[in-house]
Structures are given as structure tokens and as C-alpha cells.
Amino acid sequence: MENTEKIIGTYNEDSIQTLNWEEHIRRRPGMYIGKLGDGKSRDDGIYILIKEVIDNSVDEFAMGFGKSIDIKLENKTITIRDYGRGIPFGKLVDVASKMNTGAKYDSKVFQKSVGLNGVGIKAVNALSSYFKISTYRDGKKKTVEFKKGILISETELINTESSNGTLVIFTPDEEIFGNYNFVLEYIENMLRNYTYLNTGLNINFNGIRFHSRNGLLDLLQENLNEEPLYPPIHLKDTDFEIAITHGTQYSEEYFSFVNGQHTTQGGTHLAAFREAFVKTIRDFYKKDYDASDIRQSIIAAISIRIVEPIFESQTKTKLGSKDMEPGGISIRNYIFDFMKKLDDYLHKNPSVADVIQKKILASEKDRKAIAGIQKIAKERAKKVSLHNKKLRDCKIHYNSNDPRKSETTIFITEGDSASGSITKSRDVNTQAVFSLKGKPLNTYGMTKKVVYENEEFNLLQAALNIEEGIENLRYRNVVIATDADVDGMHIRLLLITFFLQFFPDLIRNGHLFILQTPLFRVRNKTETIYCYDEIEKEEAIKKLKNNVEITRFKGLGEISPNEFKEFIGKNIRLDPVTLTKYDQISKLLEFYMGKNTPERQDFIISNLKVDEEI
């Protein structure tokens, strides 16, 4: 017993700690904002901080106060000014620094708002190296300032000619987030979504104005990568709004929202919509079509407003609520009843109904053509012992309730040496490795049969658990880890082509990345610096000065497991693969992966990060 206590320490009254609110948030930021990240992923913590502040401003607009929000980003400092009612002067400090303090517990003051637990703005305060909040009410102004959650100044009331509202200025703390950088595209997409869901709201960001007149119809049209099969159907009432069309892609694509919050992982409302859509179509055509044929190629945006929403985490990416409000109608029954509007629309628009039916029949034909292959492929995936032969799995998955699920990553590698190094150095709790055998097939122009006929792609699809769509994706980050040479770049393009062709929503939802690994190791007897390009190498040589040894890594297999820990751990560098509203998938694939395309070769060569020796 004595030996045991020496190892684990004595458990007594001194073992029990009570942390201040800001200490708790700073020690356990993941509980409040999900993963930290460095800004390369759209759900990294620095964007969650911005969202938490804007949510409060948007809730003011939704209650009828203030039509504009002004936002500025300069040198990692964010300034957000709304023109709502402003925070009552006597509660300004409490709202910014006292947990479970806020007006949203009073449903008479805030109805159907996003934030209800009084945590968001406090998390922003605690996780910022500098945080300032000012309130303007009836010609008076009050300001308080904080550093890392600690109050440093509080002004008296002063007279002002400024309009009512709230001003928040903050700088995310590099001590928490490391050397982060904002991707403007991610912020702009977030702001567009706010305006789509709040028609009439003006958001001004660094001189750019965001505004929407047609709500989700604008959102859908802005995000279409190609001409849809029919003009989007736009239906709404007080608490529910949908915009629907079909494209030519294989997957289902959804943009779902609750009280203005982008629920990227869906939840109760999306599940009910998918089910109700199938029932409505079956009833309209009086045919028992397969659900997968009905929903294949659908592109839909849905938004619901409910009282006191329950989300599955503080980051609010998945709705868990069952009812529209406590003691009220269920979300499922409400949506099923709402979808009668779609039935009415199809009766009034027979040409659209005809296009939808033809699409369903075409999907049915394709599905039946590959049904036999699909069944054999599934059995083959089981027999090859996926988890032992191709996949080195991790313990936590993205579709679990574990708080570390946002860190889950799968590395797709080529070659035994590369996969071996990553496998030995990975975090077995959150990082998995999938090993490719040789170069993947170029799937450009092929049908989905290839996913099941090609063993590599069949097993990769099974490993990711995306056969029925990405709703049950097993890993938050899908990372292509290939060598930084011509062959490695080609493999990247082939894999990206596969995902674009059959699972584009994996890219649209920000799950696909390229792993950046160092090209050089520069070291002397006292220090080692890993460099990702020539510029970093030259800077490292200047810094280390004497007796410098330079190693050029020509492949991932040359990097030892101990070194790999450095590159796939806290300081991992990931380049996101993104699609903008201007990217048309069919044209992208034709340009880079079609026949007789010297442009593709130019692209490969010009995008290589290699030195002149290669």
C-alpha cells in the first residue's frame, strides 16, 4: 500500500481543488469551444470565439433590435459592434465574467435563441489575451477590460452620442491557441449563413457587406456547383424553412440550422426531414421507392427555430431536442406536417414532379445495376479483416460521444514504410492509419460501381463509414499523407478526384486535408529545426550558425517514428482541401483528371514543394 501511494500520490482534502471560472475554462477549453486548432479548419476554436459573440448580436436582431452588425479583423484582433439594446450597465461585468449569468434564461426577453446557458461570452473572455466589452444605452456608455479572464479596468458611466448596442473587442490568446491564423473564407462563409437565416440583417466585415433577401433560397443558389435539375423549391412558415433541389452527384448534401446555428452534424431536425421527404415523395407518386433512390443527389437547406434547444455539445453542431418547446409538439411530427406544403407544390408544378420522378428512376436503375457487386464487396471487406490488414484504427471515433471526437484523424498513406512510421508514432486514441497499395485508380468519369469493384476504394469507403453518406463519418479529419514528390502529388490528385466524384460533401464540410511534412532537418549538437521549405531552411541555417548538418527527407518512410511524433502531434500542419461557391466539380475534374490535359502536368509540377535536386 505504501508503494502504491508513492506512485499515485496521497488522496486527501488537499487533493480537492476549486478553480476560478477563468482557470477552469483555460485548463479545459475543449469543454467550451471544442478543439483548439490553428485556424486551418473551419471548426477551430478561434472561429467558435467569433461565433459566440456574433450569436448574441444576431439574437438581438431576431428579437427586433438592431439591423446591422459591424465586424473588423486586424492583426488577430476582432471587433464586433451591434446596435441592439445593449447590456444593462449594472450587469456588464457579470455577463462577461460570471458563469451562468445572462438574459436568455428569461424566455420573455429572448425566444428561440442559440445560446441559453450563459457560457459563450465568458469562454471568449477567458481564452483571450485581451478582452474589452462596452455597452451603450440611452446616451450612456460603460466599458470593462480583461486579460485572460482577469478584470483589469472598469469605467464609470460616461455620456455618449453613439447608438444603443454592444461593442466587443478581443484577441484569442496564443498561449492557448498557439501560432494561429484566420482564414478569411471561413469567416465570410459563417457571416453569409447568418444573413441567409436572418433576412434583412446587414453584416459588414472589413468593408464587405453581407445581406440576403431570400433566405435559404439564396444560400442554396450560392452553393450550387452546377446547374440543378430543376429550380430550387422554397417553402417556409414561422418556424421552419426549406430549400430543395436535385443535382447529378451521388451523395446527399444538406445545410442544416437551428435558431441560426449551423448544425454541421445534423441531429433531430435533419433526421426528421430526411424521413419526411421520403414519405412525401412515396405518397405523392403512390410508389414505394427505395429511400436511397429518393434522396440520392438531393441538395437541401433546412432551418428550424425552437424554444430552448438542446445541443449535444457546447459547440452546438448537433441538435438533440425532441420537441419544438417543452411540453409542445415533437419536432418530427411538426416537420411531417410541414411537408404537406411540398406535396401541394408538386401538384401545382407537374413539370418539376416529372423531373424528380425521372431522377428517382435513374437512381433506381443504377442501384440495381451495382446491387450484386455491392453485396459481394461488403462481404469482401469483412473477410479481408479490414481492421488488421488495411486499417490501424483508433479507440475514439467522430460519431461517438467522447469529448475528444473532434480530434479524431485518419491518415491515408501509400507504402509500408510511411504507414509504419505514422502507425508507430500516432496517438492510438484519436489517430488511425489506412494503407494504400500502390497508386489509386483514376475514377474520373466512372460510375459508382468502381467504389465496390476496386478493392482499395471499397475498403477505404468502409473504413470511413461513408457508404450511406457522411453523417456517420468515423473520423473528423481525413488526411492524405503522401510524399512531397511527383508520385506523391499524383496520388493526392487521384484521392481528391475520388472524393470529389463520389463524396464531395466530405470536402464541402471541411473534413479533407493534406498533411505537410518537413522537407529538411537542420541541426547542430544542441538544437534541431525541421523546415518545410527553402526559406525556413535558410533561416534555420542562420540561426544555428556553426557545425550545421542538413538532411533532405525524400519520402515519409525516411522520417523515424520518433520524429513523426513531432509532425502529427500538437504542431501538426494540415492544408485544408476546400471548395468555394465558384468551383464546379465537373469542370474541376475534367481540367485536372480528364484525357489529354497537359495543364494537369503543369499543375503537379508547379505545386510541388521540392528543391532543385529532385
Do 224 and 243 meet the contact criterion of CB atoms below 8 Å apart? no
pLDDT at position 609 is 41
| Residue 592 clears pLDDT 70, i.e. is over it | no
Q: What percent of the chain has pLDDT over 70?
A: 84
pLDDT at position 216 is 93
Do 479 and 486 meet the contact criterion of CB atoms below 8 Å apart? no
Read off the pLDDT of residues 91-135 as tens digits, 9 standing for 90 and up: 898 888 876 544 443 444 445 555 544 568 899 999 999 999 999
Read off the pLDDT of residues 371-385 as tens digits, 9 standing for 90 and up: 777 667 666 666 555
Reduced to 3 states (helix: H, G, I; strand: E, B; else coil), residue 179 is: coil
**Lowest-pLDDT range of 274-278, 340-344, 472-476:** 472-476
Pairing of strands 253-258, 298-304: parallel
Beta-sheet strands, E only, within 197-317: 202-205, 208-210, 233-236, 240-246, 253-258, 261-262, 298-304
Read off the pLDDT of residues 241-266 as tens digits, 9 standing for 90 and up: 999 999 888 888 899 998 888 888 88
Domains of the chain: 22-210 (3.30.565.10), 216-367 (3.30.230.10), 384-517+553-606 (3.40.50.670)
Nearest to 521 by CA among 483, 566, 572, 569: 566
pLDDT at position 388 is 54
**Lowest-pLDDT range of 61-75, 185-199, 311-325, 328-342:** 311-325
For the beta sheet containing 512-516, the strands, ordered from the edge strand earlier in sequence to the opposite edge, are: 391-392, 431-436, 409-414, 477-481, 512-516, 573-576
**Lowest-pLDDT range of 2-6, 221-225, 318-322, 410-414:** 2-6
Read off the pLDDT of residues 596-611 as tens digits, 9 standing for 90 and up: 556 656 665 555 443 3
| Residue 7 clears pLDDT 80, i.e. is over it | no
Distance of alpha carbon 362 from the chain centroid? 32
Helices (H) and strands (E) in the chain, counts: 24, 23
Mean pLDDT to the nearest integer, 356-368: 91
pTM of the model: 0.72
Read off the pLDDT of residues 133-157 as tens digits, 9 standing for 90 and up: 999 999 999 999 999 989 999 999 9
| Residue 82 clears pLDDT 80, i.e. is over it | yes
What ranges in 545-597 are assigned the alpha helix state H?
Answer: 561-567, 585-593
| Residue 3 clears pLDDT 90, i.e. is over it | no
Reduced to 3 states (helix: H, G, I; strand: E, B; else coil), residue 244 is: strand
Mean pLDDT to the nearest integer, 556-565: 80
Read off the pLDDT of residues 438-482 as tens digits, 9 standing for 90 and up: 788 888 878 888 888 888 888 898 899 888 778 789 999 999 998
pLDDT at position 49 is 93
Do 187 and 50 meet the contact criterion of CB atoms below 8 Å apart? yes
Q: C-alpha distances in angstroms, 245 versus 172, 291, 301, 329, 454? A: 40, 16, 9, 28, 31
pLDDT at position 136 is 95
Mean pLDDT to the nearest integer, 400-420: 83
